[in-house]
């Protein structure tokens, strides 16, 4: 079934955008190191959740060399992420590695294509990257009450300036779909309630996966109970017109 659109109950204005604020980014001259995890203890990534073990389509977004957002590769030369993540310019990506500091393939963004009325952006790469691309959902790919997975390298706690507590390794959490809502630009979105974790700053642009299919792009979160993902299934025709997938 399609995700029904909720009326004002969970408007995006009540949630905070997941990307790192420019002021916070400017305070760091280089990516913050991952918090150390003592042997025998469990990490608390994505504010809860756990470490991902397999996500070959995942991409970490850097703006002018600074860790900023999460993303996915959806075609050899195309990255899908959130529109509010790309305004800083100087975009580069590490693709196909669970560790944002090493491995995978690196590529630069050469052109940005923003959706006019939702928190979606497609970034064209300066080279073709081979690998496993995220499969994108169609209407009906996700439904209310479904447990879905969200991924990102974002903040592991509410630490004030969230750039200071980003995760070095990709994180994943289970959340439960509650219905339709709006994203940071009042575009169509999928809202979900916290499961074993919740998204935070730096998770923006990362995917919501339903049965291994990408159905959303992280837009906003209150860091406690609710997160909103731009509904990829509602914008399939736009994505196809730009990236051909």
Cβ count near 74 (within 10 Å): 23
Q: Please indicate, yes or no, if residue 166 is contained in any of the structural domains.
A: yes
Domain that includes residue 208, residue range: 8-21+136-234
CA distances from 194 to 26, 43, 141, 176 (A): 30, 18, 20, 7
Q: What pLDDT score was predicted for residue 19?
A: 56
Report pLDDT digits (tens) over 89-122: 999 999 999 999 999 999 999 999 999 999 999 9
The pLDDT value recorded for residue 79 is 98
With a threshold of 0.75, does the pTM exceed it? yes
Contacts of residue 208, defined as CB under 8 A and 6 or more positions apart, other chains included, come to 142, 148, 149, 150, 175, 190, 192, 214, 215, 216, 217, 218, 229
Q: What is the mean pLDDT of the chain?
A: 85
What is the distance between the alpha carbons of residues 165 and 187, in angstroms, rounded to a whole number?
A: 29
Please tell me the predicted confidence (pLDDT) of residue 37: 26
Residues 111 and 148 in one domain: no
The answer to whether position 40 is within a domain reads no
Pair (191, 161) in one structural domain: yes
107: in domain: yes
pLDDT at 7 over 70: no
Decide if pLDDT at 27 tops 90: no
pLDDT of 5 higher than 70: no
Q: Are residues 171 and 183 in the same domain?
A: yes
- pLDDT of 53 reads 96
Strand partners, 60: 70, 94
Which of these ranges, 16-25, 73-82, 87-96, has the smallest mean pLDDT?
Answer: 16-25
DSSP one-letter code for 18: S
The verdict on 93 and 114 lying in the same domain is yes
Residue 179 lies in a domain: yes
Rounded Cα–Cα distance for residues 234 and 239 (Å): 10
Q: Is residue 149 located within the same domain as residue 174?
A: yes
pLDDT band at 169 (very low <50, low <70, confident <90, very high): very high
Confidence of residue 162 (pLDDT cuts 50, 70, 90): confident
What confidence category does residue 139 fall into, taking pLDDT thresholds of 50, 70 and 90? Answer: very high
Co-location of 80 and 93 in the same domain = yes
Q: Kindly calculate the radius of gyration of the chain based on its CA atoms and give it in whole angstroms.
A: 16
Identify whether residues 162 and 105 lie together within a single domain.
Answer: no
In this structure, what CATH number is given to the domain that contains residue 129? 2.40.10.10
Give a yes or no: residue 114 inside a domain: yes
Beta-bridge partner residues of 107: 93
Q: Is residue 50 part of a domain?
A: no
Question: Domain for residue 46, yes or no?
Answer: no
In the chain, the number of structural domains is 2
pLDDT band at residue 175 under the 50/70/90 scheme: very high
Do 225 and 193 belong to one domain? yes
Taking the alpha carbons at both ends of the chain, their separation in whole angstroms is 22
**What percentage of the chain carries pLDDT values higher than 70?**
81
Which residues lie closer than 8 Å to 47 by C-beta, 6 or more apart? 155, 156, 157, 158, 197, 198, 199, 200, 223
Residue 36 lies in a domain: no
Rounded CA separation 35/45 (Å): 10
- State whether 143 and 208 are in the same domain: yes
Residue 80, C-beta contacts closer than 8 angstroms, at least 6 positions apart: 71, 72, 73, 74, 120, 121, 122, 134, 136, 205, 214, 217, 232, 239, 243
């Amino acid at each position: 079934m399609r995700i029904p659109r909720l009326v004002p109950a969970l408007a995006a204005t009540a949630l905070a955008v997941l990307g790192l604020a420019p002021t916070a980014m400017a305070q760091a001259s280089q990516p913050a190191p991952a918090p150390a995890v003592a042997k025998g203890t469990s990490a608390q990534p994505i504010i809860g959740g756990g470490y991902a073990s397999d996500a070959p389509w995942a991409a970490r977004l850097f703006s002018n060399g600074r860790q900023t957002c999460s993303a996915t590769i959806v075609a050899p030369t195309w990255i899908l992420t959130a529109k509010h993540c790309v305004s800083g310019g100087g975009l580069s990506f590490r693709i196909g590695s669970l560790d944002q500091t090493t491995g995978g393939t690196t590529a630069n963004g050469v052109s940005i294509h923003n959706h006019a009325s939702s928190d979606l952006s497609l970034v064209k790469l300066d080279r073709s990257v081979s690998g496993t691309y995220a499969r994108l959902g169609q209407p009906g790919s996700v439904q209310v009450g479904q447990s879905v997975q969200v991924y990102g390298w974002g903040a592991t706690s509410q630490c004030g300036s969230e750039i200071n507590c980003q995760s070095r390794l990709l994180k994943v959490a289970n959340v439960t779909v509650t219905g339709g809502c709006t994203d940071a630009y009042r575009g169509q979105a999928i809202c979900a309630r916290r499961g074993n974790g919740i998204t935070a700053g730096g998770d923006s642009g990362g995917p919501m996966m339903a049965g291994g299919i990408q159905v959303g792009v992280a837009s906003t979160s209150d860091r406690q109970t609710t997160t909103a993902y731009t509904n990829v299934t509602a914008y399939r025709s736009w994505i196809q017109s730009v990236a051909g997938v």
